[in-house]
Amino acid sequence: MILNDLIQIKEKELAARKKIVLRCCLAAGCVSSNSKGVKEQLDKAVAEAGLQNEVEVRGVGCMKLCCEGPLVAVDPKNELYVKVTTENASSIIAALQGGKAKVEQADPDSAFFTKQLSIVLANSGVVDPERIESYIAADGYLALHEVLNEMTPKEAVETMVKSGLRGRGGAGFPTGLKWGTVAKSAGAKKYVICNADEGDPGAFMDRSVLESDPHSVLEGMAIAAYAVGADQGFLYVRAEYPLAIARLQLAIKQAKQISLLGAGIFESPFNFNVEIRIGAGAFVCGEETALMMSVEGKRGTPRPRPPFPAESGLFGSPTLLNNVETFANVAAIYRKGAEWFAGIGTEKSKGTKVFALAGKIKNTGLIEVPMGTPLRTIVEEMGGGAPDGGKIKAVQTGGPSGGCIPSQHLDTPVDYESLGKLGSIMGSGGMIVMDETTKMVDVARFFMEFCMDESCGKCIPCRAGTVQMHNILDKILKRQATARDLAKLEELCDMVRNTSLCGLGQTAPNPTLSTLRFFRNEYEELLQPDTFGAGATQTQTATK
Amino acid sequence: MAAKTLTIDGKQITAEEGETILQAATEAGIKIPTLCHLEGVYDIGACRLCLVEVKGTPKLLPACTLKVAEGMEVATDTERLRKYRRMTLELLFAERNHVCAVCVANGHCELQTLAYSQGMDHVRYEYTFPKWNVDNTHRLFGMDHNRCILCTRCVRVCWHIEGAGTKNVSGRGGKSKIITDLNQPWGASESCTECGKCVMACPTGALFQKGSTVGESERDRDKLEYIVNAREKKQWNA
């Protein structure tokens, strides 16, 4: 494989394009409402109408407006059909020859779509995730070629530093700095790991990226491997994502077949192999040290850092760990330049962020917006506000590690620092909208229960502390708690946050702390008078 | 090995490169409370009792895994750390069924000793009273899960000193449990070498030698009668 071969594949693919393309979503959300059946019907209807030479029905990844699936888009007519069924699918084909399809349509020019800026999701819903040619036609693997041929590993790291990309897993560590540290770490063997153990309740960004555009992640990993000097990669995917795993396996196979993975990529001395490791269902394996233990075949429990994975990671070797969305940004950065990327977003948070918009909101689905976009734009304009005229009360970001941002702070721009200041975090991109019917103590208890169940059990504060915190929250909800219990809860929040071994425990109190900060009255309304305390006050008064 | 100079609790000390803060402090006569740490096996930083404050780092770090560095300023006994240590112990006592009065380890228990030394005089959290069983199937040893604090010392000695790999952890969170082999009764274990290292390593009364429990300490009064009887009948004379 040399550059010419790549260009030939692209040209052949483009030449074979037909006049009309029907893009049918085959990502997990739409598949669950039978988009596969819809695609079969479309194929059948095209054949029956004798339009095979003019119409292509392409299975694609996520087209973002998940709540309205199955989705079918028609190019170049710029139509988006929603809630397509096997019964009404053929009317879309009939409408190609004139007339109107008997299928509901969404407005592709509504704010939900126009306010988006796609970098990570640029190919999502456009390319066929099961055909590498489709990805190559969208300039896939060009960035890898350029990096291998025109950059030294050091220059590749510098480009990443210049781009200002920060880790999309949640903490926002500068990606270039991480790459540089791994590159400088001494070691004959180095590894690159992609963290695809997305586990926050309500988050499905990484799943969509893997199902819609697996090659962009592979290309990003290969570029990263070249930059840091690694030749082996692992994709750690949770077992709950079977479709993502199947598409990744296929993508790896296809890339190997034409030597875009494996030995001597683009006839350079660079070798890179990728293997998939499937998680067994533990949330804590999304924590980097626990993830590496799991890849090594051991019980997935975290270990204290330092040493950081960049020095001593998988099998004791320097290891680069980034999340799916981070890797999905990489190829675009090298193809379009670090300056281009650094020009998007805010001063400290560059580029875009993908969010999985869910909860009490009209338009649920995937959105990708430039960093710095106000929450209000996302929730009210793009999301369309609460359904049935409800009022939005809070927005939860960062899942069980994040917090609830109350409606009075909706003008907060989405970036790492602003969300941090409000006691929440950017997180991996789950965004759950809550309306006035949501009880905040309930929310806190839900997330605490999640952390309690998902604590690995290694360190005491997280293992036993989450149990006690959950019990107190439960007691408050049952109206059995007193102010004394609330004080105990707050004390435990502080202790568990400061003494837990890994991020799971350190952030487990966040949903409780943030709801206490903004909705303390909801807690206090549920408290019972403290009989012991009341008695003590009386005695004091009496002695006066 | 290069020497490193650092300050622990205001005391200037030197330590060898590669040493942990816990080792350096112990050599300097500064005692840091530990529970999952055991001389001879590798450290895991799990119990969080040895957490120390390091100047310039916002996070508390475990002394057992933290390596010494030049110019480091460490505090091991601040008000905040003492409070966290007491809370950690309280959480442990509330987690399972720790009843010192009827425990084999009473008076020799590291959890009990730590509670005394750290001033944990009562538990403010509600006891959870979980139901755990006792594995008495082994010929020589027993395991009482009610008293287990999941420090995994037994697992580490079993794998890394004895090399048998019998003990392990199953489940997660508060439902974590020390198991033998693939969660079989200890007595049915084929890998256990009966070396007893796990019992030696256990900081509480969770692992014990059979015959040492309160329940097993029965008086054999028939023996007195037997001796007197035998003496009277001169049964021992040749």
- Contact A491/B87, CB-based, under 8 Å? yes
Closest-CA residue of B relative to A455 is B173
Residues 19-58 of B with CB under 8 A from A: 44-48, 51
Torsion sign, CA atoms B203, B205, B207, B208? positive
pLDDT at A535: 45
CB B88 within 8 Å of CB A499: yes
Write the residue in B124, B150, B172 that is nearest to A282 by C-beta.
B172
pLDDT digits (tens, 9 = 90+) for A412-429: 999 999 999 998 999 889
Tokens linked to A159: 């480009």
% of chain B beyond a pLDDT of 90 = 87
Q: Are residues B103 and B176 in the same domain?
A: yes
**What is the pLDDT at residue B210?**
93
Tell me how far apart the alpha carbons of residues A248 and A254 are, in angstroms, rounded to a whole number.
10
Choosing from B55, B77, B99, the residue where a domain stops is B77
Same domain, B73 and B90: no
CA distance A331 to chain B (A): 35
- Residues from chain B that touch A452, judged by Cβ atoms under 8 A, are 173-174
Low-confidence ranges of chain A (pLDDT < 70): 532-544
Q: Do the Cβ atoms of A499 and B172 come within 8 Å? A: no
Q: Name the residue in chain B with its Cα closest to that of A454.
A: B173
CB contact under 8 A, A498 and B173: no
Chain B residues inside the 8 Å CB shell of A498: 59-60, 84
* Domain of residue B92, CATH code: 3.30.70.20
Nearest CA-CA distance, residue A448 and chain B, Å: 12
Tell me the average pLDDT across B199-209.
Answer: 97
B132 and B14: one domain?
A: no
**CB burial string B162-198: b at 16+ within 10 A, e below:** bebebbbbeebbbebbbbbbeeeebeebeebeeeebb
What are the two backbone dihedrals, phi and then psi, of residue A482, each rounded to the nearest 5 degrees? Answer: -120, 180
Report if residue B67 sits inside a domain: yes
DSSP 8-class letter at A70: S
- Tokens found for residue B6: 């650092």
Residue B223: inside a domain: no
Instruction: Answer whether B46 sits within 8 Å of A458, measured CB to CB.
Output: yes
* Overall number of domains in chain B: 2
Residues B96 and B23 in one domain: no
In a domain, residue B227? The reply is no
Residue B103 and residue B55 share a domain: no
Between CA A370 and CA A149 the distance in angstroms is 31
Mean pLDDT of B136-148: 97
- Cβ separation of B173 and A454 shorter than 8 Å? yes
Q: Report if residue B228 sits inside a domain.
A: no
Indicate if B14 and B38 belong to the same structural domain: yes
Mutation target vs B (from A490, A495, A500; most B CBs, 10 A cutoff): A495
B126 contact residues in A (CB cutoff 8 A)? 468, 471
What pLDDT shows up at residue A533?
A: 54
Q: Which residues of B touch A456 (CB under 8 A)?
A: 172-173, 176
Residues B168, B93 share a domain: yes
Residues B158 and B45 in one domain: no
- Residue B237: pLDDT band with limits 50, 70, 90: low
pTM of the model: 0.93
Q: How far is B147 from chain A (nearest CA, A)?
A: 14
For A465, the closest of B51, B59, B91 (CB atoms) is B91
b vs e for A106-130, b when ≥16 Cβ sit within 10 Å of the residue's Cβ?
A: bebeebbbebbbbbbbbbbbbbbbb
The reply to whether B102 and B70 lie within a common domain is no
B235 domain-assigned: no
B94 within some domain: yes
Token digits of residue A493: 């929040």
Please, which residues bridge with residue A237 across strands? A196, A278
Task: Report chain B residues whose CB lies below 8 A from the CB of A457.
Answer: 150, 169, 171-176
Is B60 a residue whose pLDDT tops 80?
A: yes
Contact A460 B47 (CB under 8 A): yes
* Closest C-alpha to A27, from A19, A36, A18: A36
**Is the domain of B103 the same as that of B36?**
no
- Which residue type does A220 have? G
Same domain, B205 and B111: yes
Residue B27 is part of which domain span?
3-77
Interchain contact B67–A (C-beta under 8 A)? yes
Q: Is the pLDDT of residue B238 over 60?
A: no
With beta carbons under 8 A apart, name residues in chain A contacting B176. 456-457, 463
DSSP state of B41: S
Q: Is residue B73 part of a domain?
A: yes
| Cβ-Cβ contacts under 8 Å for A341 (sequence gap 6 or more) | A119, A163, A164, A165, A329, A332, A333, A350, A351
Looking at B41, B57, B77, the residue that finishes a domain is B77
- Domain boundary (B31, B54, B77) is at B77
> Tell me: the pLDDT tens digits for A173-214?
999 999 999 999 999 999 999 999 999 988 999 999 999 999
Residues B72 and B125 in one domain: no
- Ordered by where they begin, the domains of chain A are 19-108 (3.40.30.10), 132-342 (3.40.50.11540), 352-435 (3.10.20.600), 450-524 (1.20.1440.230)
Tokens of B81: 């750390």
Please list every residue in chain A whose beta carbon sits closer than 8 Å to the beta carbon of residue B46: 458-460, 501
Interface size, chain A vs chain B, as Cβ–Cβ contacts under 8 Å: 95
- For residue B53, what is the domain's CATH number? 3.10.20.740
